[in-house]
Amino acid sequence: MIKNIMIVGVGGQGSLLASKILGKAAMDAGYDVKVSEVHGMSQRGGSVVTYVRYGDEPVYSPMIGTGKADVILSFEILEAARWLPCLAIGGVVVTSLQQINPMPVITGAAEYPAELVEKMRALAVDVRAYDVQSIAREAGNEKASNVALMGIAEDALGFDEAVLRGAIEACVPAKALDVNLKAFDMARELAKK
Amino acid sequence: MKQLMLGNEAVARGLYEAGVKFVSSYPGTPSTEITEEVAKYQEIYAEWAPNEKVAFEAAMGAAVGGGRAFCGMKHVGLNVAADPLFVAGYTGISAGFVIGVADDPGMHSSQNEQDSRHYAEAAKLPMVEPANAAECVAYVKEAYRLSEMFDTPVILRMTTRASHSRSVVELGEREETEIKAYEKLPQKYIMMPANAKKRHFVVEEHLAALRDFAETSDLNTVEDNGGEVGIITAGNAYNYAKEVFGKNASYLKLGMVFPLPEKKIAEFAAKYETVIVVEELDPFIENFCKSHGIHVIGKDVLPLCGEYSDELLAKLLLGEDPDCTMLGDEIPNRPPVLCPGCPHRGVFYTLSKLKLRVSGDIGCYTLGAVAPLNAIDSVFCMGASISSLHGTVKVRGEEDKYVSVIGDSTFMHSGMTGLANVVYNGGNTTTLILDNSITGMTGHQDNPLTGRTLKGTTAPNLSLEAICTALGVAPEHIRAVDPNNLPELEKILKEETAAPCASVIICRRPCALLKGVKRGKPVMINEDKCVGCRACMKIGCPCISIVDKKAKIDASMCAGCGLCPQMCRVGAICEQE
């Protein structure tokens, strides 16, 4: 069994930390794991995709292709829609409701498509969309949105809660840890409802 | 102990375990983290050099001086360091010397897609290429063993995916090395013709010995699964092939990509009906096979351009076309943009407003080229902004219409010599140095202008004004300005482009993402005043959009840089209460 998770968003939203946490969780759970990150120019507000693959057999490719992702973890709705073709049939999209206009929309050269969550659901995609920014803000800092999203996605990611929590504790800088754990717990509660 | 490590982090770990003493590098995506990570080991001296040639020569000096040494760079950096690279094989080394070079298939963050394996062949230096983080550690250690065994520098080739993928590494101990006793060996280390002629024969002898070594080295492994398909591959391309074919093919994985083992390849190829070479970028292994009469499938089926993936191999080699879900909507692109609060934004807005033609350079500020700023006319390579503009203006005249734009780190890398040329040869172009107090695009590395070293110690703070004065620019035509002060910037630009001599405008404001840089208060739109004229949209700030014909500012992203209020003619942009 190999599990394929994609983390998508906009450069600067914290996808590197998220992939670090998931990679650490997979390793601590005893799996082989590969994580592929994006550094450099795309980090400057561009579309950013990170791959996390883990399993109980050796993981070779660091990438996830069309129709292969079990989970798409998305920090921004348009990015979830952009990478939707990578989702496996029957896969899960867990997304923040945040919208960030890309430059072609800002300049008026393109329009931000409307009702993306509804349209994805109309295609029978399991979309779990939450306002994780508000959760993080309530927990104390909007920057914890990425960890809040992991709380929402917990059951889809396939880790025990303790393993995921341990990985968050190991990867999040000490001074931001309390806020992140709070956001994680609040998101988990919300997802259970 | 096991650790999930980035490929680059694992290279650094390998350097640590190999007892390396000295590292000098210039940052460049995707190679940067090797040197950032190595700097964390107290046992290793590590530094940022102003460019790759200097880094290479410093590391070469360290290796000749008896301590194991390393320098790291991206593929285009090796072009800069090519001069010493070609002579280093002739002199050889005293202690081990490894050069790490990271290619960027797919050009995630580069201006070209070159294949550095050609350098190994051209400079006659052995090259190894790991496929995952554990191999990064092991191959670095083996590279030092080879370097000392064959008295030659060894190149470690990385690619973006190898550098920026994490996988599991078992940590080992550091094997401490001693600084070798100094020996004066003029015939080995003074490369004047009489000596170099003799050394060329030594290079060829070493290469012959390395060819024999490649035939039996554990770096080149065969995985025989029977069947009819044999795959010859190297580096991360192996991972894609293995992902797609699994046990349905056999593999010759070449950990040493130069020199290649002719016999081993021929023996492997003879066993299979179909032999496919899977390698990103150029047909390096393929051409070797074909030149030795070994029939293989390669670039006739697989692409020369772009990054590979398992999906690409499955599609082109097996005809797979996976099911997927797609929306009917057109999804707008999301190209990278200058960050909120970026000090470069005002510069490019003003250059665009004045309709100046701009010779650009390599860094975050290349993003001044994209809409709506559209402010740049050309970007070639590090430092070329100043030197190429000199040529353009010499043939066209029209010097008032052109400026060159270069970052502080890029100016130190290779802009200074271009400016010296402008002054020396009577050019009268205007150079804008965007001094944001850091090397930005690669993720904040220090340089000779920042006053700090890689190890975090204080360094002499070189002065751009003093450097430009020393290069011959008249002090009254070296002007410093805060680029967020748009009227002042515009005034100085008009004055200096009109000046009949070489001039420099230093646009000085730190990167908005830099630690310790104070953010201003976020601003907001007073909807009663906003007339929807879109003037604030001209600066291309990702925080500003138009909603219901009025401007709207995303307060969570706004850095309070104060640029957009200067754009608004009706005073509709004010600080948040």
Name residue B236's amino acid: N
Burial of A148: CB neighbours in 10 Å, binned 0-12, 13-18, 19+ = buried
Query: Number of Cβ pairs closer than 8 Å across A and B?
Result: 199
Q: Strand locations in B195-306, DSSP E? A: 220-223, 229-233, 250-254, 256-258, 274-278
- Phi, psi for A35 (deg, rounded to 5): -125, 135
Summarised one tens digit per residue, pLDDT across range A138-154 is 999 999 999 999 999 99
Q: How many CA atoms lie within 13 A of B251 on its CB side?
A: 23
Domains defined along chain A, listed by start? 2-131+157-169 (3.40.920.10)
Residues A59-64, mean pLDDT to the nearest whole number: 97
In this prediction, residue B577 carries a pLDDT of 66
pLDDT exceeds cutoff 70 at A174: yes
* Percentage with pLDDT > 90 across chain A: 88
In this prediction, residue B398 carries a pLDDT of 84
In this prediction, residue B507 carries a pLDDT of 98
What is the rounded CA–CA span in Å between residue B537 and residue B556? 18
Q: Strand locations in B446-553, DSSP E? A: 478-481, 503-508, 523-525, 544-547, 550-553
Tokens (6 digits) for B128: 């190894």
Tokens (6 digits) for B330: 């057109």
Summarised one tens digit per residue, pLDDT across range A23-35 is 999 999 999 999 9
Option in A19, A60, A124 nearest B242 (CB): A60
Beta-sheet pairing, A69-74 with B220-223: unpaired
What is the rounded CA–CA span in Å between residue A151 and residue A94? 10
In this prediction, residue A41 carries a pLDDT of 67
pLDDT exceeds cutoff 90 at A12: no
Residues A83-89, mean pLDDT to the nearest whole number: 97
Q: Is B537 on the interface with A (CB under 8 A)?
A: yes
Q: pTM for this one?
A: 0.96
Q: Is B101 on the interface with A (CB under 8 A)?
A: no
Name residue A118's amino acid: E
Q: Are A144 and A70 in contact (CB under 8 A)?
A: no
Distance from CA of A79 to the nearest CA of B (A): 9
The closest of A181, A186, A167, A172 to A54, measured between CA atoms, is: A167
Q: Is B550 on the interface with A (CB under 8 A)?
A: no
Tokens (6 digits) for B332: 């707008």
Q: What is the mean pLDDT of each run of 10 residues along chain B (577 residues)?
A: 96 98 97 98 98 98 98 98 98 98 94 97 98 98 98 98 96 97 96 97 98 98 97 98 98 98 98 98 98 98 97 98 92 92 97 97 94 95 98 91 96 98 96 94 93 96 96 98 97 96 97 90 95 94 91 91 96 86
In this prediction, residue A38 carries a pLDDT of 81
Name residue B553's amino acid: I
Q: What is the DSSP track for B124-183?
A: T--EE--SSHHHHHHHHHHHHHHHHHTTS-EEEEEEHHHHTEEEEEE-------PPPPP-
Q: Are A70 and B137 in contact (CB under 8 A)?
A: no
Distance from CA of B27 to the nearest CA of A (A): 11
- With an 8 Å Cβ cutoff, are A104 and B370 in contact? no
Q: What is the ipTM of this complex?
A: 0.95
The closest of B43, B278, B14 to B169, measured between CA atoms, is: B14
Tokens (6 digits) for A122: 């109309």
Q: Average pLDDT, whole number, for chain A?
A: 94
Nearest CA in chain B to A63: B309
- With an 8 Å Cβ cutoff, are B333 and A10 in contact? no
In this prediction, residue A42 carries a pLDDT of 65
In this prediction, residue B329 carries a pLDDT of 86
Q: Are B93 and B152 in contact (CB under 8 A)?
A: yes
Q: Which residues in chain A are closer than 8 Å to B6, comparing Cβ atoms?
A: 37
- With an 8 Å Cβ cutoff, are A103 and B29 in contact? no
Looking at chain B from residue 249 to 308, which residues have their Cβ under 8 Å from any Cβ of chain A? none
- Phi, psi for B335 (deg, rounded to 5): -70, 155
Q: Which residues in chain B are closer than 8 Å to A11, comparing Cβ atoms?
A: 336
